[in-house]
Structure formats: structure tokens, C-alpha cells
Structure 1
Amino acid sequence: MQDTICPALAALILSTLVHGTASACEAPPPVVRDIDANRYYSDKHNSIVDPVLKARNEAAVKPVNEYLDGVARAANAWQRERKPADAQCALGWLQAWADGGGMLGTMTTNQSWYTRKWTLSGLALSYARVQAAATPAQRQAIEAWLRRLADLTIAHSDAHKGVRNNHYYWEGLAITATGAVTGEARYLAWGRTMFDHAMGQIQADGSLPLEVARAGKALSYHLYAAAPLVMVASILDLQHPKLDRLVRFSSANVADPSTLQQMTGVSQEKPSRMPGWIAIYDRHATQPLSTEPPPANNWDARMGGDRSLPNPVEHVRGS
């Protein structure tokens, strides 16, 4: 699930990582209108990755991931350092794809739709970091584009209501983040509906049945499903005991996955620690969970970049 980095961004990203700021801005990459992604699991539980199919998918979505990463790097640099060049780099890249109709073309598969909604989530959250520096013309172009992507995401989601698992939660984050930066109440309401549905899926023990069904990836997908819910809760300023239960269930299984191993009947892929989204949860929750700092590299472009750097759309406890 890691984003890749194109050679054209090497200097920009190296400077960002080493110095915390960007020293140059490459020209925006060519606009990608159509996405031709593919499914890459080989079993009915969607738990075993076919490496050939995975490689094909990664090649197909690489230009989109590189674009998102570049926007996020520049946006994060501006929030840290407030150098106008960084803000204009992020805004310039956003406007280039807005003007070119980025990702508004053909989505050949459900995996293509998934890629677009993950990208919309990251773009809206990165835009939130630089929105204050945008000119009126930039705001008009970029926000109109984000709304078009959000409307398409809603239409697809509403037409495919069969399985409301982690994909629905990520759709909810994409729409909620778009609502936060555009002021569209209907997007925020859609996100709240998603959140309420997700809370209804969380069991008394904190588990999610649709993620338990992922067999050997059940723990990984509990963690992946919780990530957008944690950010949506912060954007909408919601506290919910069931979300707390999910986060604690997931944390307990990171420490000792025996519970999920018993529930699924198979061993789990165990991460070394809680994912970095725990920093977002701890900033907003009434009772933070972590007893250790977030990872030094807390990057996820789909969540707006550096998760240790509070996003302007978050509601931080006590602020």
C-alpha cells in the first residue's frame, strides 16, 4: 500500500525528507484521465496476493500515485515552512489536473474506482494544507474538480451497496474531506451516514465481521479499515465508543494476534507496531491510546501526507 516515487520528483522529495522543505518544483506530470487498474488477489477471501497481477496493477496506477505523492510533499512542506513556492507548487499541480480533467475519464474496473477514491482522499486532505494560499481562480478550479470527483465517487458507491467494508470507509473519507475543503454540507452529511453505518458494523469485541472474513489479512484490514474512520471522526468532530473499541481491538491484536487467529483459524500478518494513523486518533480522542511516539516516517499520501503533522481540517483535542 506504499506510494512509489518517480525520478522527476527525486530532488524535491529528498530535500523534503532531509530538510523538511522543498527547494524546487518540477512541472506537473501529464494528466491521467483514465485508470485501468486490476484486482490482484487469487483467493475467495481476498487474502493471497498474486505477484504478477500485483505488479501489473502497480504499473497501471503508478502515474496517479506519483502525482498524489508530489502534491502531498509540496503541501506538507508549505504547512511546515510557509514558503510560498511550496504552496504554489502544490496548487499548480492540483490546478493542472483540474484543468485537464484528471481522473474524470474511464474507470475500467472496481479497482480503478478504488484508486480514484483513495487519490481523492489524499488530494482533498493535501489541498486542505494549502487552501489558505490559493488564489480565487485556483480555488474555483481545484474545488470544482474535487466536487466532480466526489460526485462520481458517491454515484459509484450508491450503485454498489453489496459489501460495505473498508472500501466504503475510504469513500467516506474522500467525500468528507472534500466537504471540509469545499464547504459542501451534503458531502459532510454523506460522510456522517457512512460513519454511522460503520459504527453499526463494529461488534461488542471491537471486530469488524467483513474484515475478519479476510482470513490471514484480517488484522491488516482491521488496521486499514480503522484509518479512514479515525480521520472522519476528527474532521466531523465525533467521539464514539465503538470507534474506540475498534481501535483498541486492533491495537491489542497488533501486540498479540491470537484473538484474530482464533477467529479466522489462520495466522495473521503482524506489523511491528500500530500504524501511524494512531497519531490522528490520539490528537482527537478523549483518551489517547499510544504510550510511544508515532513512527519517524509517518507518511501516507492517501491521508494527506505526514500524519504526525495535524491537518487543518482535523479537530484536535483541547484546541
Structure 2
Amino acid sequence: MKQQDLNAHNDLQIQSNHQENVLLVIDGVRQYGRFKVRPHDADPLDESSKIPRALRRFRLKEWVGFTLFHPEISSSMILQEAHYLASSEIYVRDKQGMVEHSRNVRGGSLNLPHVLFPSKPFIDAKGYRIAYDWAEKPEGIHRIRVSVDASPNQEAIKMDLELDGSTASGPLSVSSPLPGGSMYTHKVAYPASGTVTVGDRTYIFDPTRDLAVLDEHRTALPYRTTWLWGTFAGITPDGIAGANFAQRPIVPGTDEESCLWTPGECEALSDITFVQESSDPLAKWRMTSADGRLDVTFTPEDRKDVKHQLVLASIDYWQMVGTYSGTVAGIEVNNMRGVCESMKARL
């Protein structure tokens, strides 16, 4: 892709603070860069192409998920659409261990919305329901509702959470080309209130302490895909602080999906390095940025692995839950809850 094509975006549109005025694609031209707000319509398939839209759809991977940060539990959930297959996963880890559930459904059935505000995406399949209820405006009150029945070897999970958009972090909203593909992502840390119940144990979420971090993606991944990714956040006396950071192949000179969340701001970040202390699967990791604004150590507590090997496709994936300590733009963070993951795939 030529550099002039990468720069063929409307600067006023990228910098707009008015969500209803922002689009990912304008008159068939994909916009690249960092947006101040989530585009009102984030459908990459609106881009003009000689390849039919239906064929491009099958290459598009879309997901909307949340990671929950609470002092007593770690939890994550996702609705994901590959168009030939759709699926969902959820886990909650507490002192009793890891509780996990998942479902596969017909490809294309989730209809993940490219206009997020308002929308109500959900999965409802055989005793497994996860539903998001997005308000009309980003600054509204959004909801997560989960009702997953117990299985023979896994406890039930119930959730009823409200997310306060008016006190959320600054949004990370990035559109970037990838070598052999393209990426759009939107991430926000929301103060969360409500309850999470796993088995007979109920945890109260306090919006002055606890967070739900959104991870939305619309990405055409290259056939061989690799990344390292981490995220964490917490509420300090001055506001939300944390970071989202990734190490993956990129097109030189383009934006990465990395940022620092500082009170009231989302600051661009790049050139991230991940270093593991040893080959132990639960060894600590150190993550730093080249400019020194991010310098944290991740201490894992638990790990889940997924491996599939097929003739033309494979996945080697892990995600760890744990805590981060160090500095974010000079702000000291101590034992903030977060996750770290690795993906190596042929898709």
C-alpha cells in the first residue's frame, strides 16, 4: 500500500470529537489513523474494492469482548464472528479456580454491529446467553448481562453489570493497515457496578474501584498471524490509569493499537518490547516502550492454552491473568489486575 493512500484520510474527520460525524470509510475510502472517538459506523467492508463484498466478509474477523478487573476475580468474555463460524467464550477465575464455558453457532448469526451506539448484540444458545446493551450515546450507561448454566464439570456464571460511559477512560480507536491485511480496534475502560456470580459465590462491583475494558475488533488478518498483547487498568485518586499494548508485524510509519490511559486522556504509544524472565509458562514478563513511558512487570497467576493443528490452519494461543506493577507515564501502578496473551496462527 502506497504511503499517499495511507494518508488519504480527512484530518478533520479523524480529529472530530463528535461521534456521529465520524466514519471508518468515506465515499469508499478507508480512513487510517487514530480517532478521537469511535466512528459512528465502523464497517471496513464499505471500502471500495474489486473483490466482491461477500468474499471479503469471509476474511473479516470481528469480535466484541470485555475483560473485568476486580480485586477478587479475573474474568473475560467474547462474542466473535468469522462468518464461516461464530463463537463465544467466557471465564471467571477466583480462589476456587477457573470456570470456563463456550459455544459455537452458525457463522453470520451474531450480527455484531458496526454502529455500536445504540445496539444490542447477543448470543443465546443452549443455556448460554451473553448480551450487551449499548446506550444511544458513548457517554451513556451500558449493560452486560450473562446467564450461563452449569455443566457437569463447570459452575454456572451470572452477571448483571452497568458500565458508566460518562466516567470512562479516553477511547483507543485505531485504523491501521497490516502486512497482508488491515485492522480496526476500539478499546475503552469503563467503571463497572453490579454483580458477578460464579457457582454460589457473588462478587460486588464498585464503580469507584472496578473496571470493564472493552475490546472491539474488525480485522482482516494475514494468513500467518502473530501477536503479543497486554492490557491493564485501575482507578487512581486522579482517575483511570493503565495501558493497552501490542507487539505484532505492522506497516512502517503507521499507528499501532497501543496506548497509555492516564486520567482523562488516551495517549498514543508505540515500539513495545515484551521480555519473559524464563521459559517457565508462568514466568514474569516485562513490557516497555522505547520512549520509557511504559515500564511494567506482569506477574501471572493462571494461564489458559488453546492449540489446534489442521492441514491448512492452526492456532497456538495462550492468555494469562495476573497483575501489573511499574510506571505508566510517570504514574506508579502497583498490582493492577490485567491480562497478557500470545497468538500464533495460520487462518
What TM-score does the superposition give when structure 2 sets the normalisation length?
0.24
Q: By percentage of residues, which structure has more strand?
A: 2
Q: By percentage of residues, which structure has more helix?
A: 1
